[in-house]
Amino acid sequence: MSNGLNEGLGVATKLTRLGRDVDTQYGFVNAPVYRGSTVVFKTMDDIENLRAKYIYGTYGSPTIEHLENAWSELTGGAGTVISPSGLGAIALALMTTLKAGDHLLMPDSVYRPTRAFCENFLNKFGVKVTYYDPLIGRGILDWIEPNTTTIFLESPGSQTFEVQDVPAITAVAKELGIKTIIDNTWATPIFFQAHAHGCDLSVEAGTKYLGGHSDLLMGLVSANAETWPALRMTYDSMHMLPGAEDCFLALRGLRTMHLRVMEAERRGLEMAQWMLLQPEVAAVLHPAMESCPGHEFWRRDFSGSTGLFSVVLKPEYSKPALASMLDNMSIFGMGFSWGGFESLMIPFDCSEYRTVTRWRPMGLCLRLQIGLEDLNDLKDDIRKGLDRLSSFMGLHEYES
Ligand SMILES: Cc1ncc(COP(=O)(O)O)c(C=O)c1O
């Protein structure tokens, strides 16, 4: 929790100060890593009354606490819990606000494994899930049932980047006493302050920009003051916590996160604008570009953008042509996740699993994560890939 020492400081300054305590670290600037299960007590009275700052590894350690506190300051939350993956954090958040018999509203553009968690797990516990159009805004009112207790948001949406009208949805939820949870991974708290926009719980897959080096799996959930006791209670009932070394990596990532997301923004925008000029590209889905659904909400509510966006190819390109492009990229890798130092490109198609919105793009789609390579090298790699795409179609014209 905040000790008030960083109040009024800019976010870059805060990130250099949070999550460490030089005075108790013999002057070393980084916090030490406490690995451990057992914590010993001095007396029988102490152990019977659990009289100690730390009582057992699963209830926390100074290492985890440094990261929890840092994240709470960064998000403006009253408290934070940390789990071993982003999806684990989403599960913790949902299990905090839901119980058997409840109704949950989920945006149709939600990260697919979140959808799978609802369908494979929450359904089993008697939670009914309804998907809504992420662009619905205040129209969410029409989807609310007497037993709706939670509205989940993810803004922008996975793969297709619809930006949601978060304040409109959280205002409705507040009027009706419904809890809101947002997956804020894309923007990070640096570019979108979820609690200030009315969200009760905010999830970050620390696997992405917090880690920043594709060597860490982690999820964080921060809570506003009202929801914090319930979140902590869920967490303390499950003991689903990260390893100390992973907290160390996350604290290390925190120091440069501001620089990295700002650079991701610059590179992402340059690449997105350049992609739009390529003759093979029909559309670019990037929240900071006007053509992105919900761009007006991004402009109003966010203070920046990051390095993940999608492109829609023109309809004439076939799947085999796309394979000839993707199978032969020399810098872009094909792999899941994002937020690391390396550029990635994956094909996607949400049409088969979205249920209330129709995803009918003009052509095949790609999601791009822009890493830290030279932009000229990235453009060259893509241009050659698009040439393969086009020439494949020329060579195989007779087949169509
Ligand atoms: C938007 C979003 N949320 C959550 C996650 C889950 O993170 P993790 O891979 O750490 O479970 C991802 C992972 O790709 C994601 O893209």
Fold type of domain 11-253: Aspartate Aminotransferase; domain 2 (3.40.640)
List, for residues 187-224, the tens digit of each pLDDT value.
Answer: 999 999 999 999 999 999 999 999 999 999 999 999 99
111 lines ligand 1 (CB under 6 A): yes
Q: Average pLDDT in the 56-66 region?
A: 96
The strand pairing partners of 151, in sequence order, are: 105, 180
pLDDT bin (cut points 50, 70, 90) of residue 1 is: very low
| pLDDT at 397 (0 to 100) | 61
Q: Average pLDDT in the 49-57 region?
A: 96
Listed by start position, the domains of the chain span: 11-253, 258-399
- Burial-class residue 305 by CB neighbours within 10 Å (0-12, 13-18, 19+): buried
* Residue of 87, 217, 218 with the most ligand 1 atoms within 8 Å of its CB, for mutation: 87
Q: Is the dihedral angle over the CA atoms 62, 68, 73, 76 positive or is it negative?
A: negative
| pLDDT at 400 (0 to 100) | 47
- Vertex 221 angle, CA 306 and 93, to 5°: 115
Q: Looking at the chain, how many residues does it have?
A: 400
- Index of the ligand 1 atom closest to the CA of residue 336: 14
d(CA 240, CA 84): 7
180 lines ligand 1 (CB under 6 A): no
| pLDDT at 3 (0 to 100) | 61
| pLDDT at 224 (0 to 100) | 98
List, for residues 120-164, the tens digit of each pLDDT value.
Answer: 999 999 999 999 999 999 999 999 999 999 999 999 999 999 999
Domain 11-253 and domain 258-399 have a common topology:
no
Cβ-Cβ contacts under 8 Å for 26 (sequence gap 6 or more): none
d(CA 344, CA 364): 17
d(CA 186, CA 307): 9
- Vertex 10 angle, CA 186 and 163, to 5°: 25
| Distances from the Cα of 322 to the Cα of 278, 318, 370, 383, angstroms | 15, 6, 19, 13
160 lines ligand 1 (CB under 6 A): no
CATH code for residues 258-399: 3.90.1150.10
